[in-house]
Amino acid sequence: MNETAAMAELDIDPYSAENLHDPYPMHQRLRDAGPVVSLRPYPRVVACARHAEVHTVFNDHATFISGAGVGLTNFNHETPWRPKSLILEADPPQHTQTRAILSRVLSPKAVTLVRATFAAEADALIDRCIEKSKREGRIDGIRDLAQLYPLKVFPDAVGLQVEERANLLLYGDMVFNSMGPRNELLAKSAERVGPVTQWIMQQCQRDQLRPGGFGDQIYQAADAGEISHEQAPMLVRSFLSAGVDTTINGLGNALYALAHHPAEFAKLRADPALARPAFEEALRWESTVQTFYRTASRDTTISNVPIAADTKVLCMLASANRDARKWPDPDRFDIGRRPTGHVAFGTGIHGCVGQAVARLEGELILTALAKRVACIEVAGPHARRLNNTLRALETLPLRFVAA
Amino acid sequence: MPAIVFVHPDGSSQTIAATEGASVMQTATGAGVSGIVAECGGSAMCATCHVYVDPAWADRLATPLANELEMLECTAAERQTTSRLSCQIKISAALDGLVVRLPERQQ
């Protein structure tokens, strides 16, 4: 029997504006304090900021469950703001069933079928950005590129209508703010999303979805008896919650990384085949989803530190991805690195089910940049959009010089 | 420590000392064996850690779960009867000497 170890405590609020603006010094303090750290402002939470513990927690889904919510709120005691997700906030055996359907719809094989369309859209969008940059002296890497691309290609693939897609941004912002505390960010998000929630659920209905798209394929699974017809719109909702704001910020953060590391962009230009690993490295270096929680289903330990049943375990993905115990020179953005094992998509049975689509979007945008843009220059100060869970940019002024 | 033998498409091989409890994929990526990409990091989500298990060993491995079988339909190189995702093969002392062949391509 291993001896138990004491738990360090730090007076850190991961949701303070300061820490949301620049989380990296906080990550360092948490990693250095120990494998599991309690946070004074949140007595029912423990935090894992190192790679090894985040990996362990995510891969022990029986002990560290998702059904009590993957945010700060503990669904065992508090009511979720919306009906629970059938996949994100679910555990086996129900999770296994819904996960199998989404895995199939979004499999690497399925993704090859949308590749040509996604590639043509990426090339056309980068050309439009180059023209605008020439005409106006700058573009906004977020509004003109990182938002437009996922808002076009992914809802198209799901089979959504073209109108009012900006609603997806408000919904995504709310979903990811809801995983933090009931702070001002959440209150503002909730205010904005109010009228949109009904629109979202309408878009999940079968008659709103193009036959053959990802959304319709969920209903086909219901026709085949794999899930009920009442569950189908709830699974379609998962596409709309998790498939847009995540990739937007993944692309935005990758643009930010490349704009601030011209030598890395030059490497990508010299070898566009690096697009895929470069996107991977951007996900490691500046992880879109910063945090997810699990809930201890029983009294247990993490790295010999006792954890009481019902404790919320804060898994700091972005911190794990910069843990020097795992990555040499972790703060360096290096597209020559092969960051296998980063946890930007999570890991284990809840690992991002849409990761093949996300990687495709990242690869295609970075490939188009590598082939069409000679250099990416910073054209003004960027601004962050604070969110309780996401690392996001509001604006990123850039200049694209045509190749 | 159990040893795992990786055979490259050109016939050359590498023998890597593995940790019990780790996966064959982790063993390969940890030692920098080329030919295992493992983009998803071990969640059976990408099919880029595909290997052909040597027929002498195939029956000695735990049976693949449904999610692995589903993902094996997405391999870049041809799927064969002994195809497995190396991230789903957990190493035990009983697998000392396991031989896996690497496919021509993963993506």
Cβ contact, residue pair A340, B71, below 8 Å: no
Tell me the CATH number at A145.
1.10.630.10
pLDDT, tens only, A297-325: 999 999 999 999 999 999 999 999 999 99
Average pLDDT, chain B: 95
Token readout for A238 is 């998962």
Provide the pLDDT confidence category of residue A5 given band limits of 50, 70 and 90: confident
pLDDT, tens only, B28-42: 999 999 999 999 999
Q: What is the CA radius of gyration of chain A?
A: 21
Question: b/e map of A309-328 (b: 16 or more CB within 10 Å)?
Answer: eebbbbbbbbbbbbbeebbe
CA distance A343 to A346: 5
Select the CATH number that applies to the domain covering B3-101 from these four: 3.90.420.10, 1.10.3720.10, 3.10.20.30, 2.115.10.20. Answer: 3.10.20.30
Token readout for B23 is 């996966």
**Cβ-Cβ contacts under 8 Å, B70 against chain A:** 100, 103-104, 107
Q: Which residue of B has its CA nearest to A112?
A: B74
Cβ contact, residue pair B71, A356, below 8 Å: no
Question: b/e map of A172-196 (b: 16 or more CB within 10 Å)?
Answer: bbbbbbbbbbebebbeebbeebeeb
CA distance A335 to A272: 11
Residue A1 located in a structural domain: no
Residue A20 located in a structural domain: yes
8-state DSSP, A161: -
A-proximal residues of B, 8-67, CB under 8 Å? 26, 29, 37-43, 45-47, 66-67
List the single best residue of B33, B45, B72 to mutate versus A (max A Cβ within 10 A): B45
CA distance B104 to A219: 37
Going from N- to C-terminal start, the domains of chain B cover 3-101
Residue A82 located in a structural domain: yes
pLDDT, tens only, A243-299: 999 999 999 999 999 999 999 999 999 999 999 999 999 999 999 999 999 999 999
Instruction: Report the number of distinct structural domains present in chain A.
Output: 1
pTM: 0.95
> What is the pLDDT at residue A2?
61
